[in-house]
Structure 1
Amino acid sequence: MPIDAAKAVAAEPGRSEIAWDHKDVQLYHLGLGAGVPANDPDELRYTLESRLHVLPSFATVAGAGMGVVGGLGAPGIDIDLAAVLHGGQSITLHRPLPVAGRAVTTSRVAAVYDKGKAAVLVLRSEAADEDGPLWTSDAQIFVRGEGGWGGDRGPSERLDVPGRAPDATVERPIREEQALLYRLSGDWNPLHADPEFAKLAGFDRPILHGLCSYGMTLKAVVDTLLGGDVTRVRGYRTRFAGVVFPGETLRIRMWRLAGTGTGTESATDPAGGRVQVTVTAVERDDAPVLADTVVTIADPS
């Protein structure tokens, strides 16, 4: 079997140094569709260096996302990249991300699960600078055709959609060139740019990066429910439930859960609450894009 689960999990973490500055942050934000309208003060927080803050999902591309790349090269992992799918993503923020910084990342295979017809790798990347931990990021990677060895199936958490109307619903258009811009932040997979490659992968045209939808969704939550305050985000996780194409529109539904924005603590989430989110493609009858999506937030200070 190309995946040796015990060897992969026991391997020493990989280590790399990364750096970023305001240009990397601005490029990432523009790749998410920030800057429309260009002179909107709320959008200038994402695009103008003198007012810049950092959307926490920037952690997925800082250093060109080398944490995931390092995990796929770990001992015990020998796989065909054509069989790889990004199944889910989570980030835990230890403090707000600086506009410019240098950090050391450590990357390892935190778990390998046997789903029968596929294996799931949990690739964990942790970043810290001279002031301490910055973020912990987990990427759940499906590897088709690599399951069936009788290993642990792992967790299979699915969230029920709240049985009430969303607290907020917004729509975010995906520009025709958005994937071309987003890939400049480090994900050069031709699936997102080359029509011929997309056809080989089973799509009639290039698809948007899942992590672009992930970032667009977090920006919508921050702007809609958190008053634009990125420092309130403590964690963010999702499952990639389907593809979306440039030119389509994301419909983002949000539910405030217990403790959110109330000024009180929740027994299950002392950080202050959560926002549950679903994301669908408007033009394809609300086909799922992101599911099991939760933003964990702190109360306003």
Structure 2
Amino acid sequence: MPIDEALALAAEPRTGEITWTPKDVQLYHLGIGAGIPATDPDELRYTLESRLHVLPSFATVAGAGSPGVISGLSMPGVDVDLACVLHGGQSLTIHRPIPVKGRATATSRIAAVYDKGKAAVLVMRTEVADADGPLWTNDAQIFVRGEGGWGGDRGPSARLDAPTGEPDKVVERTVREDQALLYRLSGDWNPLHADPEFAKLAGFERPILHGLCTYGMTLKTVVDTLLGGDVTRVRSYATRFAGVVYPGETLRIRMWRQGAKGSEGSEGAMVSKGSHGAQEAQGVVRVTVGAVERGDAPVLADTVVEHS
């Protein structure tokens, strides 16, 4: 069997040092569409070094070479065809605000292997900490077609009930024609996002946008629209990649405010200290994202932002 569940789960974690600078943060922010309008004070928080704050989704590219989907496919016990691999979902837990400049240790391992029948799902977990303690935990869900059926644990369902009622906010964001070319400078050099011939071989009419670029664009929209532009309020962020985006398209981002689990509503919920000194979430934003030009075709689904 190409995936040896026991071997993959027992493999030694891979550990390495990652570093990032304000320039890396600014480049990432520009890659997800920040800086329009260029002189807007709210946008300068993402682009000007003297005012810089770090959007938490920067964690998915910090260090440019930090362990991720591709490195997970080279772990012991994993031997699969890249053509059968999809990035199925991404979840991020923020333990404390990400500094604009940093040096940290990233420890990566296969945290779970699930048997979905016609496919397998690998959960690649990366935990990052600096000298002051844990910073974030990143989980990439790697979907491998044709590798299930060995009778293993199916794992939890990633599907959530659809949000009900009218959304609190609906925002449209245009993906620039050069968005993927700029975003890939943060470290994802897959030619699928730049080379038309490669994209056609992969079954797409033209290069597609990185799923994690859409992921970042969506979180920025939630922060700017419902969290007062305060990046430090984000506690966790999870999504399922439901479809592709082509550069030049328009994203329609629908947002619903909800109270935190176990609370009666975000307005009156208490905020307490959680592990590592981070505040626990007191509110939740549910999000759906669709591609306007293709009949609102789903792009991100089961998307949840927990916040203080």
Instruction: Provide the TM-score with structure 1 as the length reference.
Output: 0.96
Tell me what 2:13 maps to: 13
Q: Deviations over 1:51-84 (max 9, x none)?
A: 0000000000011252214322211111122221
The separation in 2 between residues aligned to 1:147 and 1:203, in whole angstroms, is: 25
- The answer on 1:265 being equivalent to 2:275 is no
**8 Å contact from structure 1 (residues 8, 76) kept in 2:** yes
Residues 65 and 256 of structure 1: CA distance in aligned 2, closer, same or farther (over 3 Å): farther
Tell me what 2:3 maps to: 3
Tell me what 2:138 maps to: 137
**8 Å contact from structure 1 (residues 258, 266) kept in 2:** no
Decide which of 282, 285, 307 is 1:297's aligned counterpart: 307
**Gap runs ≥5 in structure 2:** 273-278
Amino acid paired to 1:96 = P
The separation in 2 between residues aligned to 1:257 and 1:239, in whole angstroms, is: 19
Q: What is the CA RMSD across the aligned residues, in angstroms? A: 1.5
Identity %: 76
Tell me what 1:75 maps to: 76
**8 Å contact from structure 1 (residues 31, 182) kept in 2:** yes
Tell me what 2:26 maps to: 26
More moved, 143-152 vs 172-181: 143-152
- The answer on 1:52 being equivalent to 2:52 is yes
How many pairs are equivalent?
Answer: 297
The 5 Å alignment of 1:98-137 reads 98-137=99-138
User: Once the 2 structures are TM-superposed, how far is the Cα of residue 246 of structure 1 from its aligned partner?
Assistant: 0.2
**8 Å contact from structure 1 (residues 236, 295) kept in 2:** yes
The 5 Å alignment of 1:207-286 reads 207-259=208-260, 261-265=266-270, 271-286=281-296
Amino acid paired to 2:267 = T
The separation in 1 between residues aligned to 2:271 and 2:166, in whole angstroms, is: 22
Tell me what 2:276 maps to: none
Secondary structure of the residue aligned to 1:197 is: helix
**Gap runs ≥5 in structure 1:** none
Q: Deviations over 1:230-264 (max 9, x none)?
A: 00000000000000100000000000001565142
